[in-house]
């Protein structure tokens, strides 16, 4: 109990009693108006590695559960309605400083993003390449014009597009001209040799790969960046091709484990 209260004081957050997540202790954190949590492994691995989930922390938990068994902490903070904007990046900056100091976590983190989580994960990584061990994305949004904009092949989301315009503090023309999407300005990550792994669906109508992952792949690899794209070819899809079971969660966890070990310094 003393440890929990002490952590809350350092974080300057409102902290609930420790919760449970799949049998692991989950500390509930709240910074300003943003909620988050960190799940504690039974036995932290040497170097105290961690993975930072961007959006949908309970969706496809298989990879996180494997990593928890391997001694990773699993963190999450909710900035979903900021759509990767500069305000979202600032919130992530604050959360990173707080949890790394309080829980004595590794300086480099593995980023794990699903769908719209791709906006904040990649945008924060570009500003902080020295703090990123690797990026794993599952059908991640890489261009805000694709989703929620729906200005290309994708279905888009008019409600989210309106909220995104507000989050970026601009108008529609300004957001259409925004030149710092996840697939833009990747030079710092390429220079730092941060590896990417994206799992995609070739039939995805919500986040079409041709407008998102495949464009990012072409840009990143042209800069000398390391990236693997794994298309879902075996599992059935739903939600307009956007959802599907993970074919091999261990392969994904191995990617994160390997790169956290390799890029820990």
Tens digit of each residue's pLDDT, the chain (265 residues)? 333 333 343 344 444 446 888 999 999 887 666 689 999 999 999 999 999 999 888 888 999 999 999 999 999 998 989 999 999 999 999 999 999 999 999 999 999 999 999 999 999 999 999 999 999 999 999 999 999 999 999 999 999 999 999 999 999 999 999 999 999 999 999 999 999 999 999 999 999 999 999 999 999 999 999 999 999 888 889 999 899 999 899 999 999 999 998 765 5
Question: For residue 166, what are its two tokens?
Answer: 């507000």
> How far apart, in whole angstroms, are the C-alpha atoms of residue 31 and residue 99?
11
> How far apart, in whole angstroms, are the C-alpha atoms of residue 221 and residue 238?
30
Report CA 177 to chain centroid distance, whole Å. Answer: 24
Contact between residue 231 and residue 26 where contact means Cβ atoms under 8 Å apart: no
Domain spans of the chain? 29-262
- Helix (H) or strand (E) run with residue 126 in it: helix 117-127
> How far apart, in whole angstroms, are the C-alpha atoms of residue 182 and residue 184?
6
pTM (2 d.p.): 0.90
For domain 29-262, give the fold: Rossmann fold (3.40.50)
Let me know if 97 is exposed, middle or buried by CB neighbors in 10 A (0-12, 13-18, 19+): exposed
């Amino acid at each position: 109990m003393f440890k929990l209260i002490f952590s809350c004081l350092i974080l300057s957050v409102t902290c609930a009693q420790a919760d449970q997540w799949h049998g692991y202790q989950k500390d509930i954190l709240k910074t300003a108006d943003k909620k988050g949590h960190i799940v504690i492994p039974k036995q932290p691995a040497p170097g105290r590695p961690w993975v930072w989930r961007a959006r949908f922390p309970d969706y496809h938990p298989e990879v996180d559960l494997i990593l928890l068994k391997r001694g990773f902490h699993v963190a999450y903070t909710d900035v979903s309605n900021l759509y990767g904007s500069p305000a979202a990046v600032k919130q992530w900056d604050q959360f990173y400083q707080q949890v790394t100091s309080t829980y004595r976590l590794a300086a480099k983190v593995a980023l794990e993003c699903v769908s719209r989580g791709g906006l904040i994960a990649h945008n924060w990584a570009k500003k902080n390449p020295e703090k990123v061990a690797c990026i794993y994305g599952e059908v991640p949004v890489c261009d805000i014009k694709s989703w929620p904009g729906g200005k290309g092949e994708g279905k888009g989301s008019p409600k989210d597009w309106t909220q995104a315009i507000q989050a970026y503090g601009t108008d529609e023309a300004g957001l259409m001209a925004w030149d710092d999407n996840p697939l833009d300005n990747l030079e710092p990550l390429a220079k730092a040799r941060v590896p990417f792994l994206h799992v995609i669906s070739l039939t995805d109508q919500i986040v079409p790969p041709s407008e998102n992952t495949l464009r990012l792949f072409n840009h990143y690899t042209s800069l000398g960046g390391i990236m693997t794209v794994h298309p879902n070819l075996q599992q059935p899809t739903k939600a307009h091709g956007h959802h599907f079971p993970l074919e091999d969660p261990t392969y994904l966890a191995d990617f994160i484990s390997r790169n956290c070990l390799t890029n820990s310094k």
